[in-house]
């Protein structure tokens, strides 16, 4: 029997996550649909570098969850670094006209619901958090502002904030300290194997953001999440500990 879009599919052995007091999200393909903007920028970057034989669909799958900074530097045995692919991509991506990036359906309602319930929320992304490209503010914080989510900026950990990147849990551990929560109280939501591995290595609960990754690209044999959510609002079905809800109700 097919499951309803707003239900959670249990895929791990621990059952439905419980005792959740905080949530940590990836950004691209989890909170924000940036695919169109990334594909355009990748195509332009390869064109500028004179590379015409790239299968963009395969490329997007290959670097899912991996920092582009690292992927471009190692591309084609280091040729990507020599050609300046990262700089070409950054310029192509961040100088595009606004409007190509949007929130996935249900994300705004999910975040509003979590705030109302008093559940702390943060972001751990492999994307740069706050950079300048050709004199223009860029990075995750710039896109959060465009999407009306600047309130998440203080609890956003980006590429430049850590020495060890996903799937190492350094960034997530920093976020947990900022939010003041324990790993076993935190659900990590992301679209990639790296996100699931980060959660597991930090001792958190994990959720695959099914709405941001096609079924054919779900590498569940590599890393099995505790649950899969096909729609953001499914996460509001998780029970909130009474102390969290009561603290939110008592807030001025």
| pLDDT at residue 3, rounded to an integer | 46
What count of other Cβ atoms lies within 10 Å of the Cβ of residue 86? 18
Name the more confident of 48 and 130. Answer: 130
Tens digits of per-residue pLDDT, 156-174?
999 999 999 999 999 999 9
Q: Tell me what the mean pLDDT of segment 117-126 comes to.
A: 96
Tens digits of per-residue pLDDT, 44-76?
988 988 887 788 888 787 778 778 788 787 777
Q: Tell me what the mean pLDDT of segment 184-210 comes to.
A: 96
pLDDT at 127 over 80: yes
pLDDT at 248 over 60: no
Peptide bond into 204 cis (omega under 30): no
Q: Mean pLDDT across the chain, nearest whole number?
A: 89
| pLDDT at residue 157, rounded to an integer | 98
| pLDDT at residue 61, rounded to an integer | 78
Residue at token pair 């692919």? 85
Contacts of 113 (CB under 8 A, 6+ apart): 233, 236
- What's this model's pTM, rounded to 2 decimal places? 0.90
Residue 1 — pLDDT band, cuts 50, 70, 90?
Answer: very low
Contact 207/235 with Cβ under 8 angstroms? yes
Residue 244 — pLDDT band, cuts 50, 70, 90?
Answer: low
Q: H helices within the chain, ranges in order?
A: 35-48, 56-62, 68-74, 79-83, 85-94, 107-116, 140-146, 170-179, 193-202, 242-250
């Amino acid at each position: 029997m097919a499951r309803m879009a707003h239900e959670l599919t249990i895929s791990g052995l621990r059952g439905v996550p419980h005792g959740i007091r905080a949530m940590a999200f990836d950004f691209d393909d989890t909170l924000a649909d940036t695919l169109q903007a990334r594909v355009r920028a990748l195509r332009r970057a390869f064109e500028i570098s004179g590379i015409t034989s790239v299968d963009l669909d395969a490329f997007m799958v290959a670097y899912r969850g991996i920092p582009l900074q690292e992927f471009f530097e190692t591309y084609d045995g280091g040729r990507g670094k020599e050609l300046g692919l990262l700089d070409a991509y950054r310029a192509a991506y961040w100088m595009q006209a606004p409007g190509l990036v949007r929130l996935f359906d249900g994300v705004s309602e999910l975040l509003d619901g979590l705030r109302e319930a008093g559940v702390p929320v943060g972001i751990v992304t492999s994307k740069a958090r706050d950079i300048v490209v050709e004199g223009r503010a860029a990075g995750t914080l710039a896109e959060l502002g465009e999407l009306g989510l600047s309130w998440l900026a203080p609890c956003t950990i980006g590429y430049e904030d850590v020495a060890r990147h996903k799937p190492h849990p350094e960034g997530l551990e920093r976020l947990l300290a900022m939010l003041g929560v324990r790993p076993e109280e935190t659900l990590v939501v992301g679209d990639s194997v790296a996100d699931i591995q980060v959660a597991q290595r930090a001792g958190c609960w994990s959720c695959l953001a099914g709405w941001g990754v096609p079924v054919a690209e779900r590498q569940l044999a590599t890393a099995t999440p505790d649950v899969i959510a096909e729609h953001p609002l499914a996460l509001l079905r998780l029970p909130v500990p009474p102390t969290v809800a009561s603290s939110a109700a008592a807030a001025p």
